[in-house]
């Protein structure tokens, strides 16, 4: 098992921190010149560059300190633009595109020859997505190339859901940050690949599996095979704050006496109610116990837990619900290898 440790905040270059704003023309000019622009989407912020310009794409990997085996998603303004990058489009891919684009769905399809292998990490397939954000959609409409964009965080660190998050970690490595406000969904897109024309779930995300199955029928899953080159983003350790996270159950309150202080509790609704007065700081993903709100606040609160006086982060898996499963998947990777209870 391995874990990436990435320098996060201190600027190491003499480059000035990127400007943040809503100037689409400026963003378009920079992108045409091969520069890096952070873009808002409904899921998380992306670090974008011209997806057909190899040098520009390489600079994304460099800025993020991302290993070259982890392929990027290409973002486009609509279904025709997306499918023009694919050699072949299965019927069920078309149905999914009709149902969910623009939206939090990435389709992995056989790539056309002109899609550079730096984007796909040498794979013959490419991830394609039409993001649902007005600023980014109008930006994409001004460009005659797709935008390669991974989440705009240093590799392995917590994903960004505001322009400020991007500025905090990649401000000195980005040429402009397009500020589209806080992301409305807060968790990455759901990724679907195809085997013999049948859809396969490669990454759980904001689009619910049950909604996909209404269109496709039962979905096979191929998730979390660490080191599997077909799903290289699915590493056991990912989305991690610098501080140690302990995952436990609310009943296990005795644990608290054994832990070094201070302790930050990352909770959900009333899940850890009995703990709240006995810890040093409480961050609640959703005091109403709303899973959509928890998805939206999740990465921001992980970042908050990572700031202020050095503290251990204690949390637990969210109770039943499809989005709970998706958030728990991220939580497990964020905590790896520190989790102290198993989770199915």
Kindly list the residues in this chain that would bind ligand TXA in the complex (CB under 6 A): 41, 43-44, 46, 70-73, 106, 108, 120, 123, 125-127, 129, 131, 149-151, 188-189, 191, 193, 202-203, 230-234
Rounded least distance, CB 262 to ligand TXA, Å: 31
Measured between alpha carbons, how far is 59 from 57 in angstroms, rounded to an integer? 5
Q: Which is nearer to ligand TXA, 126 or 302 (CB)?
A: 126
Question: Site residues for Mg ion, window 199-258 (CB under 5 A)?
Answer: none
Q: Residue written as tokens 């700081």?
A: 281
Q: Which is nearer to Mg ion, 36 or 265 (CB)?
A: 36
The answer to whether the beta carbons of residues 189 and 106 sit under 8 Å apart is yes
Rounded least distance, CB 334 to ligand TXA, Å: 14
Q: Which residue is closest to Mg ion by CB?
A: 151
Instruction: List 128's β-bridge partners, or say none.
Output: 74, 107
Q: Which residue is closest to ligand TXA by CB?
A: 233
Rounded least distance, CB 159 to Mg ion, Å: 5
Structural element, H or E, at residue 296:
helix 291-305
Q: Residue written as tokens 């689409």?
A: 24
The answer to whether 20 contacts Mg ion (rule: CB under 5 A) is no
Retrieve residue 97's tokens. Answer: 């595109």
Q: Which does 230 bind (CB under 5 to 8 A by kind): ligand TXA, Mg ion, none?
A: ligand TXA
Rounded least distance, CB 239 to Mg ion, Å: 7
The answer to whether the beta carbons of residues 37 and 75 sit under 8 Å apart is no
The residue within the footprint of Mg ion, chosen from 20, 151, 161, 311 (CB under 5 A), is 151
The answer to whether the beta carbons of residues 243 and 305 sit under 8 Å apart is yes
- Alpha-helix runs per DSSP H in 114-232: 117-120, 134-141, 163-170, 209-216
CA 96 and chain centroid, separation: 20
Measured between alpha carbons, how far is 262 from 280 in angstroms, rounded to an integer? 6
Rg (CA), the chain: 20
Q: Which does 70 bind (CB under 5 to 8 A by kind): Mg ion, ligand TXA, none?
A: ligand TXA
Q: Which is nearer to ligand TXA, 31 or 149 (CB)?
A: 149
Q: Which is nearer to ligand TXA, 53 or 151 (CB)?
A: 151
Instruction: List 154's β-bridge partners, or say none.
Output: none
Rounded least distance, CB 169 to ligand TXA, Å: 13
Count, residues near Mg ion per rule CB under 5 A: 1
Rounded least distance, CB 173 to ligand TXA, Å: 16
Q: Which does 43 bind (CB under 5 to 8 A by kind): Mg ion, ligand TXA, none?
A: ligand TXA
Q: Residue written as tokens 């909770």?
A: 267
Angle at the Cα of 323 from the Cα atoms of 166 and 269, rounded to 5 degrees = 90
* Site for Mg ion, rule CB under 5 A: 151
């Amino acid at each position: 098992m391995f874990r990436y440790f990435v320098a996060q905040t201190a600027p190491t270059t003499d480059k000035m921190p990127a400007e943040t704003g809503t100037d689409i023309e400026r963003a378009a000019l920079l992108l045409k010149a091969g520069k890096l622009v952070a873009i808002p989407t409904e899921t998380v912020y992306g670090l974008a560059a011209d997806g057909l310009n190899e040098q520009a794409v390489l600079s994304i990997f460099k800025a993020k300190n991302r290993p070259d085996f982890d392929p990027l998603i290409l973002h486009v303004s609509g279904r025709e633009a997306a499918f023009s990058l694919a050699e072949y489009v299965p019927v069920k891919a078309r149905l999914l595109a009709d149902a969910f684009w623009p939206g939090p769905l990435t389709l992995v399809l056989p790539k056309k020859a002109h899609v550079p292998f730096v984007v796909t990490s040498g794979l013959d397939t490419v991830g394609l997505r039409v993001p649902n954000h007005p600023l980014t959609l109008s930006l994409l409409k001004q460009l005659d190339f797709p935008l390669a964009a991974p989440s705009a965080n240093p590799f392995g660190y917590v994903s960004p859901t505001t322009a400020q998050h991007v500025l905090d970690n990649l401000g000195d490595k980005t040429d402009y940050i397009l500020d589209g406000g806080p992301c409305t969904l807060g968790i990455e897109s759901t990724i679907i690949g195809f085997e013999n024309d049948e859809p396969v779930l490669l990454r759980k995300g904001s689009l619910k599996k049950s909604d996909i199955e209404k269109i496709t029928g039962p979905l096979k899953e191929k998730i979390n095979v660490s080191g599997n080159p077909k799903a290289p983003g699915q590493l056991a350790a990912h989305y991690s704050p610098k501080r140690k996270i302990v995952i436990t159950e609310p009943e296990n309150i005795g644990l608290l006496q054994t832990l070094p202080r201070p302790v930050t509790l990352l909770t959900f609704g009333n899940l850890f109610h009995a703990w709240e007065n006995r810890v040093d700081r409480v961050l609640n993903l959703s005091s109403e116990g709303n899973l959509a709100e928890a998805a939206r606040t999740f990465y921001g609160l992980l970042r908050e837990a990572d700031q202020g006086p050095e503290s251990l982060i204690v949390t637990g898996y969210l109770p039943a619900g499809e989005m709970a499963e998706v958030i728990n998947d991220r939580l497990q990777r964020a905590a790896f290898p520190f989790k102290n209870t198993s989770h199915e």
